[in-house]
Amino acid sequence: MNKRRFVEVSCLKLVFLFLLFVLNGCAALVVDPLLASLSRSLEQETDIELLIDGSPTLLLLLDGMLVDDPENPKLLRAGTRAFTAYALLLDETGKPERARLAGDKARAYGFKLLSRNAQFKQTCQASLSLFQEALLSFDQDDAADLFWGGQAWALWIKLQGGSPAALAELPKVEALMLRVIALDETVAFGSAHLVLGSIYGSLPVMLGGKPELGRHHFERALALSRRQYWPVQVAYADVYARQTFNRELFIGLLNEVIGKSLPANEMMSANRLAQKKAAELLARVDDFF
């Protein structure tokens, strides 16, 4: 049996097992092991097209579980992460309409996850100062939820294509990521720093950008990930190096990940996608500089 067929059959088996346990009123007993096993499989898959084709089964499974148990925090976490990852995958492979749909759901699940905190729920649409005050009610145990909710929100803003209304929400994402860093900057390989680096580095100084602050956050993300989470190098090159016309840094960061062997860990899917984007960016170096 080839790999594609194996994944399809495995996903169908998971759906069947889920339905079987739901009919017996025991869904809670299988949520963790099923989602953990399938999530690990997807995180370590390096065939990008297979990920695009195979992920909807997991997403439908999560949607079905959340219809039955909409307040379950484990399911909301899984839904936020899975739909965020899928939206990013679709966006990076040139499927913007599908990416926006997945991004909408990721943001909705992320908001619902964070809205289990009453102060967040009351202030997510309020002023920035009230929102920042509400973030102080989250503690270290909430750092991962804050990051994934904020990551979904940041990606949703990106997928709106420059909408002024969406961009107006960016300061709240910034505040949220700063709170993650204050609580636990190591979450998700230091990716709160990656998000902040992208926010600060994406605009020119005359439009409010803070490129050197962005560089600081990219460097911190590299340190925390031990340079093993390659989306950091790619974003650093694509955002900061391009914005500051630093050709040497741009080429160096991209060459750092192109052609390297993929470590067999939970970063494999993200790193493979980063390698693909790095090669595409490097091929256009003369267009940028």
pLDDT in tens for each of the 289 residues of the chain? 555 554 444 444 444 333 333 334 444 444 555 555 555 556 666 677 877 887 888 788 888 889 889 999 989 998 999 899 899 999 999 999 999 999 999 999 999 999 999 999 999 999 999 999 999 999 999 999 999 999 999 999 999 998 999 999 999 999 999 999 999 999 999 999 999 999 999 877 887 789 999 999 999 999 999 999 999 999 999 999 999 999 999 999 999 999 888 776 677 888 999 999 999 999 999 999 9
Q: How far is CA 172 from CA 77, 130, 148, 163, 178, in A?
A: 20, 10, 14, 16, 10
Boundaries of every domain in the chain? 1-69, 83-288
CA dihedral 71, 75, 79, 85 (to 10 degrees): 150
CATH architecture of 83-288: Alpha Horseshoe (1.25)
CA-to-CA distance for 55 and 1, rounded, in angstroms?
19
